[in-house]
Amino acid sequence: MADSRLIRSRRGPVTYVLRVLVVVYLLLLVAWPVSLVADRAFRATGPHEGGVGPFLERLTDPAAVYAFNLTMTVAIWAVVANTVFGVGISLLLVRYRFVGRRALSVLVDLPLSVSPIVVGLALVLAYSSTQGWFGGALETVGIQVVFSTPGLILATAFVSLPLVVREVVPVLEEIGTDAEQAARSLGANGRQVFRRITLPSIKWAVVYGVVLTSARSLGEFGAVKIVSSGAEFRGETATLFVHNHYQAFDEPAAYAAALVLVLVSIIALVVVTYLRPEEDRA
């Protein structure tokens, strides 16, 4: 605590210069471009009217409603899958030692280093009905992956896979295993240890990972562009809606949808910031 107070009490020209540089950098890189999107979403351009009324009309257009509904469906399934498997992978990496553990850790980080376009192409090669290894077999039982919702979910889950893992792993390493071993020595089984000891200890890491995964899932474009037909009412997610309408010179609709995506991400981060314990915010 004393060290923390000492660090916070230090003031000087270098500190203020660094603060100004960071604030300017964030304003130029994040705040200013996002504010321009918000401005264009409500501005009248050419034959398009401006204001709140036209903005809401663009969002309630059936194509926009379909795109956002599909995006929410894909994001929910991707978040659920990555939360369950992310916590499981985190426990596996931290609590167990086995051959190939480092290779597994590298594979978890692979989606962060591979372009989403490559992810989409890989899924097409694996699951398309014409050239995929598994696509033909799955279609014989009535399951189409590529150019359908399952393909969108797979692509989104792939690109957002590391987010929960990389939030949970450091927390598991920090809390150690003493409490878990004590619970086992008192007769608790594995399920009880996880539910009463491990999960409460990592809950905020899981929440942060879920929020990041949700934001990443809502904003994914590259991978879903490849595995989706991208047509109106046929696999067009919100990001594809923005792209298609911008390319079709319907910029107000594109800006309106883009602003909603930004607002959803900001709201999610703000809610988590104020929900987490006060000592974590200090």
Q: What is the pLDDT along the chain (282 residues), one digit of tens a residue?
A: 445 454 555 567 788 888 899 999 989 988 898 889 988 888 877 777 778 888 999 999 999 999 999 999 999 999 999 999 999 999 999 988 888 888 998 999 888 888 999 999 988 888 887 766 777 777 777 788 888 899 999 999 999 999 999 999 999 999 888 888 888 888 888 888 888 999 999 998 999 899 989 989 999 998 999 999 888 888 899 999 999 999 998 889 999 999 999 998 888 888 777 766 665 555
To 10 degrees, what angle do helices 116-127 and 149-159 make?
140
Q: What is the pLDDT of residue 15?
A: 84
Q: What is the pLDDT of residue 177?
A: 86
Contact 78, 160 (CB under 8 A): yes
Q: What is the pLDDT of residue 11?
A: 65
Q: What is the pLDDT of residue 8?
A: 54
Q: What is the pLDDT of residue 130?
A: 73
Q: What is the pLDDT of residue 136?
A: 74
Comparing C-alpha atoms, which of 240, 244, 276 is closest to residue 261?
A: 240
195 Cβ contact list (under 8 Å, min separation 6):
none
Q: What is the pLDDT of residue 1?
A: 47
Q: What is the pLDDT of residue 10?
A: 59
Q: What is the pLDDT of residue 210?
A: 92
Helix (H/G/I), strand (E/B), else coil: 259? helix
Contact 89, 104 (CB under 8 A): yes
Phi, psi for 233 (deg, rounded to 5): 65, 10
Comparing C-alpha atoms, which of 70, 66, 32, 31 is closest to residue 227?
A: 70
Q: How far is 151 from 129, CA to CA, in rounded Å? A: 12
Classify residue 226 as exposed, middle or buried by CB count within 10 Å of its CB (0-12, 13-18, 19+): buried
Helix (H/G/I), strand (E/B), else coil: 10? coil
